[in-house]
Amino acid sequence: MRYSAVILSFILCISLLFLGFFNYRNFGVTTNELVILDDKDEVFKLIDKNTPISVQIEDERWGQAVLADPEVLFQIWRVIRESKSYPSKFVPNQDRINGYIFFRDGSKEYFSISDRFQLGEYFLESKEGEMEVGKLYRIFRHTLETKNNLLTMVEKAGAIYLFRAEDTFDPDSEKVLRITGEAKKELLSCLARSEKIEESKELNDLLLEKGIQPLFHLTLSLEDGREKDAPIVLSVLSPDYFTLMDMGFLNRNVVYFEGFLFDYCCRMIMPSFLE
């Protein structure tokens, strides 16, 4: 009888434990599974909103460009997430680029960037010693400096001058040729056949052997008189390659193109020296 009571008590304890296991949420305890199920919709809404699908970049000189490469967008969003937020900051006007980041849910946020980054009402800056915002800026600049945008600027340019790299630029010099009319149309046609390049073994070999030693320069001055002091310069390196540098930016970067601008320059400028 005593053993029966012990066994019965043991069974009763086990039963109570099982009941407690299956019903302890009634005592105010929530399982991880329940949290996930309850918050799943909100979590996915947050993820969707914070997933950029494209970036529209705008600049007074270069116009517009759209960035939609998923890998690059992921890098951009990683930089934004890892940057520090600073209240009451501003983005300097020098070298500033503006635009909008578009999200999967249809919303968009304004951004502005130079050495700081503004997204909506938040101002971000890299941690001390890091260059993350600088990397972000270079991505946007690289996206803006396209062949199509270059063609648009050449077409609208107020003045285009061609001269040999060994000569000093002087618009009134006989050694400097102003490109107008049919010569300008031919230049546009030549540039339209060129391609912006990221990597090239032949170009790397050329730069290692000779460095950046231009043969010709083409300077583009825009319509606004203020911009004429900050031209866009195309420098011919060889029969196959030329560079682009926008002197309007304080932080200047060199963009490389493959094309036949050398042949064009020779046709345009050499006869004037043979007269």
Give the tens place of pLDDT for each residue, 13-66: 444 444 343 343 443 333 333 333 334 454 445 455 578 899 999 998 899 999
The DSSP output letter for 117 is E
How remote is the C-alpha of 249 from its chain's centroid?
Answer: 15
**Residue 3 pLDDT exceeds 70:** no
Q: What is the mean pLDDT of residues 114-128?
A: 75
Which of 241, 239, 221 lies closest to 229 in space, CA to CA? 221
pLDDT score at 267: 92
Contacts 24+ apart (CB under 8 A), 81-84: 82/132, 83/117, 83/124, 83/125, 83/126, 83/127, 83/132, 83/133, 84/124, 84/125, 84/126, 84/127
pLDDT-derived band at 87 (thresholds 50, 70, 90) equals low
Domains, the chain? 49-144 (3.30.1490), 147-274 (3.30.1490.410)
Count of CB atoms situated within 10 Å of the CB of 101: 22
Question: Which of 145-154, 221-230, 246-255 shows the highest mean pLDDT?
Answer: 145-154
**Residue 88 pLDDT exceeds 80:** no
pLDDT-derived band at 85 (thresholds 50, 70, 90) equals low
Report the helix count and the strand count for the chain, using DSSP H and E: 8, 14
pLDDT-derived band at 90 (thresholds 50, 70, 90) equals confident
Give the span between the Cα atoms of 64 and 70, in whole angstroms.
19
What is the C-alpha end-to-end distance of the chain, expressed in Å? 130
Per the prediction, the chain carries an average pLDDT of: 76
Which token pair is 166?
A: 């060994």
Q: How do residues 213-229 score in pLDDT, each as one tens digit?
A: 899 999 998 765 444 56
